[in-house]
Amino acid sequence: MEILDGKKVAKEIRENLKQEVELLRKRGIIPKLAVIMCGNDPASTIYVRNKSKACKEIGIEYEEYLLSDNVTMDELLNVIDNLNNKKDVHGILLQSPIPKGLDINEAFNKIFYKKDVDGFNPVNVGKLCIGQDSFISCTPYGIIKLLEEYNIQIEGKNAVVIGRSNIVGKPVSQCLLNKNATVTICHSKTKDLPEITKKADILIAAIGKPKFISSSMVKKGAVVIDVGINRKNDGTICGDVDFDEVSKKASYITPVPGGVGPMTIAMLMNNVVKAAKEN
């Protein structure tokens, strides 16, 4: 069994990006990411802090727009619109969740697709579906990069994705399909889940339930990607996969933390640099 070391691969990606940013800066292009956050959700605060740290390390300018919990939809759309029009801003990220009563899809629709470094605007989602160059959302993109970095074959493999969210499950399924895997998407209404997961050569868990995937659900030699971030009472985090048990059966497995999480941030940085190069 080999650990898919997202922390290490992400560091290498960030180092390469740092050099790319130096070259861009010499040409007078200073990549800039603007992050919008509404309210002060503790998990979001940590994610946003990590993103700002990564930007600083790479030489990407970072701007934060902290809106209150009771911001209106119009106010939020206005902030996005202003950022769409700012020439020096290359990437716009709206941190989720946003306050109840606001429509996150309407907000994603508003982000100009060429600045949509999270890849959630329908233009980018559509481009991904028809195989055109686009901003691919960062977690799915990070998963594919990690698999590629370890030379794990995707083509022709049975890939099973558990979870069908717009931010992980659906786009990662599309990415795997684009790489010629045979993809099955499972969700909360799926019947006989273990029967399906046991056939997976590549198993991706994006559920949000601690240790949901037991070793009896996994085929021997499977590649197991754990996207879950579940906060335990003691403040530490664990994934959706029972790592101790499943790691005895898998050929490759991602740890939590240190697997998909760091890759997500690295691919966000990658997308900001891409946006700066293309705008």
Please, what is the minimum distance in Å from the beta carbon of residue 254 to ligand NAD?
9
Known active-site residue 127: no
Scored b (16 or more CB within 10 A) or e, 243-252 reads beebbebbeb
Of residues 65-124, which lie at the interface with ligand NAD (CB under 6 A)? Answer: none
Q: Which two tokens stand for residue 251?
A: 């050929």
Known active-site residue 103: no
Amino acid found at 217 = M
275 binds ligand NAD (CB under 6 A): no
Yes or no: say if 153 and 16 are a contact pair by the CB < 8 Å rule. no
Please, what is the minimum distance in Å from the beta carbon of residue 82 to ligand NAD?
27
Please, what is the minimum distance in Å from the beta carbon of residue 67 to ligand NAD?
21
Residue of 193, 251, 258, 279 that binds ligand NAD (CB under 6 A) = 193
207 binds ligand NAD (CB under 6 A): yes
167 binds ligand NAD (CB under 6 A): yes
Yes or no: say if 96 and 70 are a contact pair by the CB < 8 Å rule. no
Of 83-91, 127-135, 171-179, 186-194, the segment contacting ligand NAD by CB under 6 A is 186-194
Residue 228, phi-psi category: left (phi > 0), alpha (psi -120 to 50), beta (remainder): beta
Residue of 40, 82, 105, 188 that binds ligand NAD (CB under 6 A) = 188
230 binds ligand NAD (CB under 6 A): yes
Name the closest residue to ligand NAD (Cβ).
165
Q: Which helix (H) or strand (E) holds 191?
A: none
260 binds ligand NAD (CB under 6 A): yes
Amino acid found at 229 = I
Q: Which two tokens stand for residue 13?
A: 């990606």
Known active-site residue 19: no
Please, what is the minimum distance in Å from the beta carbon of residue 23 to ligand NAD?
28
* β-sheet bridge partners, residue 159: 183, 202
Scored b (16 or more CB within 10 A) or e, 76-110 reads bbebbeebbeeeebbbbbbbbebbeebebeebbbb
- List residues near ligand NAD by CB under 6 A: 139, 162-165, 167-169, 186-188, 190, 193, 206-209, 227-230, 260-261, 264
Catalytic residues: 51, 95, 118
